[in-house]
Amino acid sequence: MNGRWQGVLLLLAALAPGAGRAEPVQARLDADGVQRVEVVGGNYFFRPDHIVVRVGLPVELVVRKEPGLTPHSLVIWSPRMGLDVDEMLGRREKPIRFTPTATGQTPFYCREKLAFFPSHQERGMAGILEVVE
Protein backbone atom coordinates (compact mmCIF):
# COMPACT_ATOMS: atom_id res chain seq x y z
CA MET A 1 0.00 0.00 0.00
CA ASN A 2 1.42 3.38 -0.89
CA GLY A 3 1.60 6.29 1.51
CA ARG A 4 -1.34 8.17 0.04
CA TRP A 5 -3.76 5.27 0.55
CA GLN A 6 -2.46 4.75 4.05
CA GLY A 7 -3.26 8.39 4.75
CA VAL A 8 -6.81 8.01 3.43
CA LEU A 9 -7.38 4.91 5.56
CA LEU A 10 -6.05 6.63 8.67
CA LEU A 11 -8.38 9.56 8.01
CA LEU A 12 -11.38 7.24 7.57
CA ALA A 13 -10.48 5.43 10.78
CA ALA A 14 -10.26 8.74 12.64
CA LEU A 15 -13.69 9.81 11.38
CA ALA A 16 -15.44 6.52 12.15
CA PRO A 17 -17.97 6.61 15.01
CA GLY A 18 -16.41 5.62 18.28
CA ALA A 19 -12.92 6.12 16.94
CA GLY A 20 -10.36 8.31 18.58
CA ARG A 21 -10.26 6.63 21.95
CA ALA A 22 -6.62 7.21 22.70
CA GLU A 23 -4.25 5.19 24.82
CA PRO A 24 -5.19 4.91 28.51
CA VAL A 25 -3.58 7.57 30.68
CA GLN A 26 -2.26 6.46 34.07
CA ALA A 27 -2.62 9.09 36.78
CA ARG A 28 0.75 10.16 38.17
CA LEU A 29 1.38 9.49 41.85
CA ASP A 30 2.57 12.77 43.35
CA ALA A 31 4.81 13.13 46.42
CA ASP A 32 1.77 13.95 48.60
CA GLY A 33 0.35 10.49 47.89
CA VAL A 34 -2.37 11.78 45.58
CA GLN A 35 -2.86 10.40 42.10
CA ARG A 36 -3.38 13.32 39.74
CA VAL A 37 -4.44 13.70 36.17
CA GLU A 38 -5.51 16.77 34.20
CA VAL A 39 -8.79 16.39 32.33
CA VAL A 40 -10.18 18.76 29.71
CA GLY A 41 -13.77 18.70 28.51
CA GLY A 42 -15.08 20.32 25.32
CA ASN A 43 -17.53 19.91 22.45
CA TYR A 44 -17.92 16.87 22.72
CA PHE A 45 -15.06 15.02 24.27
CA PHE A 46 -13.01 14.40 27.36
CA ARG A 47 -9.26 14.33 27.09
CA PRO A 48 -8.04 11.89 28.20
CA ASP A 49 -11.05 9.62 27.78
CA HIS A 50 -9.53 6.58 29.46
CA ILE A 51 -8.00 7.18 32.88
CA VAL A 52 -6.28 4.52 34.96
CA VAL A 53 -5.91 4.92 38.74
CA ARG A 54 -4.95 2.65 41.63
CA VAL A 55 -7.51 1.44 44.13
CA GLY A 56 -7.48 2.74 47.70
CA LEU A 57 -5.39 5.85 47.04
CA PRO A 58 -6.81 9.36 46.75
CA VAL A 59 -7.37 10.62 43.23
CA GLU A 60 -7.53 14.23 42.13
CA LEU A 61 -8.90 14.97 38.70
CA VAL A 62 -7.87 18.51 37.81
CA VAL A 63 -10.67 19.45 35.45
CA ARG A 64 -11.39 22.41 33.22
CA LYS A 65 -13.34 23.08 30.07
CA GLU A 66 -12.29 24.46 26.73
CA PRO A 67 -13.26 28.05 25.89
CA GLY A 68 -16.84 28.47 24.69
CA LEU A 69 -20.35 29.07 25.96
CA THR A 70 -21.47 25.45 26.09
CA PRO A 71 -21.69 24.20 29.68
CA HIS A 72 -20.08 20.88 30.50
CA SER A 73 -20.06 18.65 33.53
CA LEU A 74 -18.37 15.54 34.80
CA VAL A 75 -20.35 12.69 36.32
CA ILE A 76 -18.91 9.50 37.78
CA TRP A 77 -21.32 7.31 39.67
CA SER A 78 -20.43 3.87 40.97
CA PRO A 79 -21.67 2.98 44.46
CA ARG A 80 -19.69 -0.26 44.22
CA MET A 81 -16.47 1.73 43.82
CA GLY A 82 -17.49 4.44 46.28
CA LEU A 83 -17.71 7.08 43.53
CA ASP A 84 -20.30 9.85 43.39
CA VAL A 85 -19.02 12.82 41.37
CA ASP A 86 -21.23 15.42 39.69
CA GLU A 87 -19.45 18.70 38.97
CA MET A 88 -19.74 21.52 36.49
CA LEU A 89 -16.55 22.28 34.58
CA GLY A 90 -15.22 25.82 34.56
CA ARG A 91 -12.57 27.63 32.60
CA ARG A 92 -10.36 27.57 35.67
CA GLU A 93 -8.90 24.29 36.84
CA LYS A 94 -10.92 22.67 39.60
CA PRO A 95 -9.83 19.67 41.67
CA ILE A 96 -12.26 16.78 42.02
CA ARG A 97 -11.18 14.38 44.75
CA PHE A 98 -12.27 10.83 45.49
CA THR A 99 -10.81 7.53 46.56
CA PRO A 100 -11.95 4.46 44.63
CA THR A 101 -12.66 1.55 46.98
CA ALA A 102 -12.88 -1.28 44.44
CA THR A 103 -11.23 -2.27 41.18
CA GLY A 104 -13.02 -2.34 37.85
CA GLN A 105 -14.20 0.05 35.18
CA THR A 106 -16.88 2.69 35.30
CA PRO A 107 -17.94 5.29 32.75
CA PHE A 108 -17.61 9.02 33.21
CA TYR A 109 -19.62 11.45 31.13
CA CYS A 110 -21.07 14.92 30.71
CA ARG A 111 -24.75 15.15 31.72
CA GLU A 112 -25.48 18.36 29.79
CA LYS A 113 -28.20 18.29 27.15
CA LEU A 114 -29.88 21.11 25.26
CA ALA A 115 -33.64 20.73 24.74
CA PHE A 116 -34.37 17.93 22.27
CA PHE A 117 -30.81 17.62 20.99
CA PRO A 118 -28.80 14.49 21.76
CA SER A 119 -27.01 14.66 25.11
CA HIS A 120 -23.33 15.46 25.21
CA GLN A 121 -22.77 11.91 26.38
CA GLU A 122 -24.52 10.61 23.27
CA ARG A 123 -22.31 12.88 21.18
CA GLY A 124 -19.24 11.21 22.60
CA MET A 125 -18.52 13.25 25.70
CA ALA A 126 -17.73 10.20 27.78
CA GLY A 127 -14.84 8.10 28.92
CA ILE A 128 -13.75 5.22 31.11
CA LEU A 129 -12.28 5.31 34.59
CA GLU A 130 -10.32 2.13 35.20
CA VAL A 131 -9.37 1.25 38.77
CA VAL A 132 -6.57 -1.28 39.15
CA GLU A 133 -4.68 -2.99 42.01
Binding-site ranges for Cu ion (CB under 5 A): 72, 110, 112, 120, 125
Dihedral angle, C-alpha 22, 37, 90, 94, nearest 10 °: 170
Q: Closer to Cu ion by CB, 99 or 119: give it.
A: 119
HSE-CB at 19 with a 13 A cutoff on CA atoms is: 9
Question: Which residue's CB is nearer to Cu ion, number 100 or number 127?
Answer: 127
**CB of residue 80 to Cu ion, shortest distance in Å:** 25
Residue type, 18: G
- Judge if the upstream peptide bond of residue 109 is cis by omega within 30 degrees of 0: no
CB of 74 to Cu ion, least distance (A): 9
To Cu ion, the closest distance from the beta carbon of 85 in angstroms equals 14
User: What CA–CA distance (Å, rounded) separates 132 from 53?
Assistant: 6
Residues belonging to the chain: 133
Asked if the peptide bond before residue 48 counts as cis, ω within 30 degrees of 0, the response is yes
- CB nearer to Cu ion: pick between 38 and 66: 66
Looking at the Cβ atoms of 41 and 100, the one nearer to Cu ion is 41
State the nearest-atom distance from the C-beta of 90 to Cu ion, in Å: 13
